[in-house]
Amino acid sequence: MLSKRSIRGRFVLQLVLASAALIVIFSTLLYNYIKLSLYKEIEESLKRQAKYIAITIPSLHAGEKIDSFYLQKTLDIKVEIIHKPPNINDIFFTILKKNKNVFAILYYPYNFKEQTFLKVTKDISSITHLLNKIHKIIIFANILSFGFIIFYAFFISKMLTTYITNFTKKL
C-alpha cells in the first residue's frame, strides 16, 4: 500500500507539470500569433503603398530613388527602383536586422519590360521593441502563473488526501 505522502506528491507533480505545459503552450501560441499578426499588417500596408506608387509613378528606371517628403516623413518608408533581384519573381516580403535596427523590406514588381522592382523599406525597430516588451510581460505572467499553480496544487492535494484518509478510516 502506498503512503498518502507519495500519492500526494505524485498528484502535485502531475498537476503542476500539466498546468505548466498548458501555460507554456498557450503563451507561445499567443506570442507567435501577435508577432505574425503585426508582421502581416506591416506587409499588407507596404503592399498597398507599393501598389499606389507603381500606379501613380509609372516611368522611373533602375537606380532611381523616389524622394518624397510625404513618403519619408508621413509613411516612414524609403522607396527605390532596383533591377530584378535573383530568385525573386513576384511580391516578396522579408525582415532584415542590421546593427540594432530592424527593417521590413518589400520587393514589388514595377516594370516588366525593364525587369525592375520597387524596393520599399520601413524601419520597424519600434515594433520589434514592442514585441520584446510583450514577450517579457508574457514571461512574467507565466512566472506568476507557475506560483499560483504550485499553491493550487498543494491546496487541492491536501484537500483530496484529507478526504481520501477520512474515507479510508470509515471503511
Segments making up each domain of the chain, as ranges: 4-170
Q: Using one digit for the tens of pLDDT, what is the confidence trace for 90-135?
A: 999 999 999 999 999 999 998 888 888 899 999 999 999 999 999 9
pLDDT at 73 over 70: no
Mean pLDDT (the chain, rounded): 87
Cα dihedral across residues 157, 159, 161, 167: positive or negative: negative
pLDDT at 11 over 70: yes
* Sequence-distant (≥ 6) Cβ neighbours of residue 18 within 8 angstroms: none
Q: In whole angstroms, what is the distance from residue 99 CA to residue 83 CA?
A: 26
pLDDT at 21 over 90: yes
The arithmetic mean of pLDDT across residues 41-70, rounded, is: 80
State the pLDDT at residue 52: 87
Q: In whole angstroms, what is the distance from residue 36 CA to residue 40 CA?
A: 6
Side-chain half-sphere CA neighbours of 151 within 13 A: 6
To the question of pTM greater than 0.85 for the whole model, the response is no
The arithmetic mean of pLDDT across residues 68-87, rounded, is: 78
- CA torsion 84-86-89-92 (nearest 10°) is -90
Count of other CB atoms within 10 angstroms of residue 120 = 24
